[in-house]
Amino acid sequence: MKVRPLALIDDTDRLTEYSAAMDRMQQLWQERVEDRRPDTLWLLSHEPIFTIGRRTPDAHLPAPDSTIPVFETNRGGQLTYHGPGQLVGYLVVKLRPGEGVVDYIREVEYRMIAALDALGIPAERRATPKGSELLTGVWTRDTGRKITSIGMRVGRNVSTHGFAVNVTGDLSPWKLAVACGLPEVDMTSVERELGDRPAPTFEQVAKTVATAYEAVTPAEVRG
């Protein structure tokens, strides 16, 4: 992959309310469209929430008595869950000439595979079955579980939204709805996949992911 230096915003020291994050992401997008900021990776975590893409079927939503709110977004992809213990990365990136959103999603997948490999978890992307909707994300190679969800949008040639990788914490909310449009999917985490092996801290995972994206503090960004 070609070098694509990113400015890093690290807000992983607290939980960020989802609608507030969407407002901030829109601001970052506008700044990138106007070339007032470099390509940016924003790392954060959210309070518990289900988010849905534009084509998520009602049958995939949690039951009405669920206490976790549902937020409709303008990204691609299907339903996903955000909550404590999950690392979210929003990518505000100007696509290169001739590069489409699917091309960039593939790059995101491979960078997440590199990050997980550095954490001791062999991972892979999966090809989309013929005639099916685009299959995105990253699965663990040894157990076949999904560990990273990806959903993105491009407007005026600049991407928004991004990825979510489960690091630690409660995975049970994933079972309250149909995640990623895949009824049989088994969502997993870094903690679960490492088993008895020493688990990295959340901060270490965030640093490993930032390194995989070649993301650094804004003052260090060149080009």
More confident call, 171 vs 4: 171
Range of the domain at 123: 6-220
In a domain, 1, yes or no: no
Q: What is the pLDDT of residues 83-105, one digit of tens each?
A: 999 999 999 999 999 999 999 99
Q: Which residue's entry shows tokens 């009602």?
A: 58
**Amino acid letter, 171:** L
**Annotated catalytic residue within 25, 91, 138, 180:** 180
Quote the pTM value. 0.94
Give the model's pLDDT for residue 223. 38
Q: What is the pLDDT of residues 22-46, one digit of tens each?
A: 999 999 999 999 999 999 999 999 9
46 given a catalytic annotation: no
Q: Read off the CATH number of the domain in which 17 is found.
A: 3.30.930.10
Please report the pLDDT score of residue 216 as a whole number.
Answer: 87
Q: pLDDT tens for residues 178-214?
A: 999 899 999 999 999 999 999 999 999 999 999 999 9
**Domains in the chain, number:** 1
If 0-12 CB within 10 Å is exposed, 13-18 middle and 19+ buried, where does residue 197 land?
Answer: exposed
The answer to the question of residue 31 being in a domain is yes
* Beta strand segments in 106-207, E: 123-124, 138-140, 146-155, 158-166
Predicted confidence at residue 54, as pLDDT, reads: 77
